[in-house]
Amino acid sequence: MIETWLNRMRGGERCPPRKPFSKIAWSWLGAFVGIYAVALLSRLTSTNLFLIGSFGASAVLIYGAPQVEFAQPRNLLGGHIISAAIGVTVFKLIPGDTALLGALAVSLSIVAMHFTRTLHPPGGATALIAVIGGSRVHDIGYLFVLTPVATGALVMLLVALAVNNLSRNPRRHYPRYWF
């Protein structure tokens, strides 16, 4: 049994080849413009919270792999919003150790994203940020869901729609589906 379990960790497939330069360039452009747009929005607001770490991971998906399921608008917006709401709720309603609250927020977010078909891996980080984000995040409470999370994800989505559809490659069009 242990040998079978260990054998599963071998892998066995070959690493895929590097993507063509054009795909890398489009990914760079989207990530740069998307993150910069969110950062500029952050500067223009008094909260200065728009740029959260989980948006970096979202950028990898929506600009670097725009065709995957996790990168679609439904997943991007739903995953972040649902996870942020769960993270804020866990922090507000359950007293306890930050490690326990963080684990609970992330795991509940994964379950909720599965049930709503909005699985977006960076959503787990968004839930965790709602718990460990410190007083600036905790003081705004559920406003965290609207701003920075929903607003920032929407800005990144708008950039993804613009940049990913500039390419002449018909396989790079974005999105594959909305809902």
d(Cα 36, Cα 50) in Å, to the nearest integer? 11
**pLDDT band, very low/low/confident/very high, at 48 (cuts 50, 70, 90):** low
| CB-based contact 109:101 (threshold 8 Å) | no
Report the pLDDT value the prediction gives residue 172, as an integer from 0 to 100: 80
**pLDDT per residue over 73-122, tens digit each?**
999 999 999 999 999 999 999 998 999 999 999 999 999 999 999 999 99
Q: In the block, which residue shows the tokens 């979202």?
A: 58
**pLDDT band, very low/low/confident/very high, at 171 (cuts 50, 70, 90):** confident
3-class secondary structure, 74 = helix
**pLDDT per residue over 13-23, tens digit each?**
899 999 999 99
Per-residue pLDDT, averaged over 35-57, amounts to 87
Closest CA to 87 of 126, 47, 52: 126
